[in-house]
Amino acid sequence: MRIHTTIKFLQTRRIRRTVLLFFILVGPHYSLCYSQDLYNKEHSQKFAEYLSSSQQHALAAEEYERLVYFDNNSVGYKFNLIKSYRLSGDLKSGIKRIYSFYGKSLDTMPQLLATEFVKLQLLTDSLPVAEGFLHQESKLSLENKAVFQSYNFLLRGQYKEASLFAEESANKYPAFPSAVLNLSQKAAKIKLKSPFVAAGFSAIIPGTGKFYTRNWSDGLFSMLFIAGNAWQAYRGFNEHGIKSGYGWAFASLSASFYIGNIIGGAKAAKRYNKNKRNEVDNQVFEFVRSDSF
């Protein structure tokens, strides 16, 4: 019993000494730590700027959300918040927040946020919304409107219109981006392929529909495979007559691949056109994300 009491006393004494030592070491600095609020406006702004500069845009958006809460009237905080959402790839959140700020009164947006709104609409392929906003918005500069309208033409696949509009805009506005003009002119030179022409070529000479779409290897394979099966069918009929099972087997195989070759030619043309459009679209998206205007 005495041993248990002695041990308990020593443990209690040790705890007291530990608590006393803690207050001796921490006590003088406690009020200082308490007075420095790491979540105040100033610290949040510095941290948000650091996150943005280090390209941690998703985390930066969280800090700018805090800053917008601190000061809901700050256009700069709202702009940086929407920009952070765009650069992080969270486009829907950016659009949602703009509507939460201005509702249906988008014409009251400052120019900075109006620019971000158009960028978000272009990146989400909401072209009718972007085009309607550009026609109604008066706060955007004429030069920025011209750039956005050029992008709108390109994303719609209206390459000739984009080229003419970009050339006209470049003559009007000396600072009009040369990259936009070059892309528009390059896109206007793209010759898209007709699926009907590709199918027609394939019907006349198997494989040539894919040659038309510059798919040389598939076209050569189709030509040789169909020709080989047709030759085997001819040999079978020539040697064993019209009732030749060998001939009919290869004839059926050749016919099925011949029909598939016609359909494949049309699909190859559509695929070629899609790839060309994707190349242009990707360059437009790179321009929009680049913050060069």
**pLDDT digits 0-9 by tens, 99-124:** 999 887 777 888 889 999 999 999 99
Helix (H, G, I), strand (E, B) or coil at 160: helix
Q: How many residues appear in the chain?
A: 293
Return the structure tokens found at 199. Answer: 């199918």
- Provide the sign of the torsion angle of the four alpha carbons 30, 33, 34, 35, taken in this order: positive
CA distances from 208 to 19, 42, 222 (A): 88, 68, 9
Q: If you write DSSP's letter for every residue of 96-124 in order, what string do you get?
A: HHHHHHHTT-GGGS-HHHHHHHHHHHHHT
Cα angle 48, 83, 60; round to 5:
25
To 10 degrees, the CA torsion angle through 263, 267, 269, 274?
A: 170
CA distances from 39 to 51, 66, 103, 202 (A): 15, 9, 29, 69
- Provide the sign of the torsion angle of the four alpha carbons 256, 261, 263, 264, taken in this order: positive
Q: Distance (Å, rounded) from C-alpha 57 to C-alpha 61?
A: 6
| CB burial string 101-134: b at 16+ within 10 A, e below | bbeeebeebeebbbbbbbbbbbbeebeebbbebb
pLDDT reported for residue 137:
66
Q: Which residue has the tokens 């016609």?
A: 262
Domain ranges of the chain: 195-282
What type of residue is 149?
Answer: Q
Stretches in the chain below the pLDDT threshold 70: 1-39, 137-138, 229, 246-247, 292-293
CA distances from 236 to 217, 222, 240, 292 (A): 29, 21, 6, 68
The pTM of the whole model exceeds 0.95: no
Q: Distance (Å, rounded) from C-alpha 250 to C-alpha 38?
A: 79
Q: How many CB atoms lie within 10 A of CB 93?
A: 19
Q: If you write DSSP's letter for every residue of 122-135 in order, what string do you get?
A: HHTT-HHHHHHHHH
CA distances from 90 to 46, 75, 129, 173, 246 (A): 22, 20, 18, 33, 61
Span 16-72, pLDDT tens digits: 454 444 444 444 444 444 444 545 778 888 898 999 999 999 999 999 999 999 898
